C-alpha cells in the first residue's frame, strides 16, 4: 500500500494538471482503486467528487499513468487470500500545486 501511494504521488506531482495550476484550482476528492494480485489495474472509481471536473479527471489520469508499468505484485501471503485489493484514499490538490493522498 505504501509503495502504491508513493508511486501515485510521484507520478501525480510530475503530471500535475496544468489547468489546475493556471486557474488556481484546489480541492480534494475520494478515489477507490482496485489492484489485481499481479499488480495490474482492475478499476478506478470516484467516491466523492472534488466538484471540479479538472481535478477529478486528473486524479483518474494519474492512476492510469501510474498503472502503465503495473504496480507491485502482492506478496505471497496476501495473494493467497486476496484477488483484488481496493484502496480508498482522499486525494488533495494543494495550493502549493502538489498532490498528496491521505
pLDDT higher at 94 or 52 = 52
Q: Which three cell numbers stand for residue 21?
A: 495550476
Question: In a 3-state reduction of DSSP, which class is residue 97?
Answer: coil
Provide the whole-model pTM: 0.85
* Distance separating alpha carbons of residues 10 and 49, to the nearest angstrom: 22
Is a pLDDT exceeding 80 seen at residue 96?
Answer: no
Exposure string for 8-22, b = 16+ CB within 10 A, e = fewer: bbebbeeebbeebee
Is a pLDDT exceeding 90 seen at residue 12?
Answer: no
Amino acid at each position: 500500500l505504501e509503495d502504491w501511494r508513493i508511486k501515485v504521488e510521484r507520478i501525480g506531482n510530475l503530471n500535475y494538471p496544468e489547468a489546475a495550476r493556471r486557474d488556481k484550482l484546489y480541492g480534494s476528492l475520494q478515489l477507490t482503486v482496485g489492484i489485481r494480485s499481479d499488480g495490474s489495474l482492475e478499476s478506478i472509481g470516484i467516491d466523492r467528487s472534488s466538484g471540479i471536473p479538472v481535478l477529478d479527471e486528473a486524479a483518474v489520469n494519474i492512476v492510469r499513468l501510474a498503472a502503465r508499468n503495473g504496480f507491485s505484485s502482492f506478496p505471497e501471503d496476501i495473494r493467497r487470500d486476496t484477488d483484488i485489493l481496493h484502496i480508498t484514499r482522499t486525494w488533495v490538490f494543494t495550493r502549493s500545486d502538489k498532490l498528496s493522498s491521505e
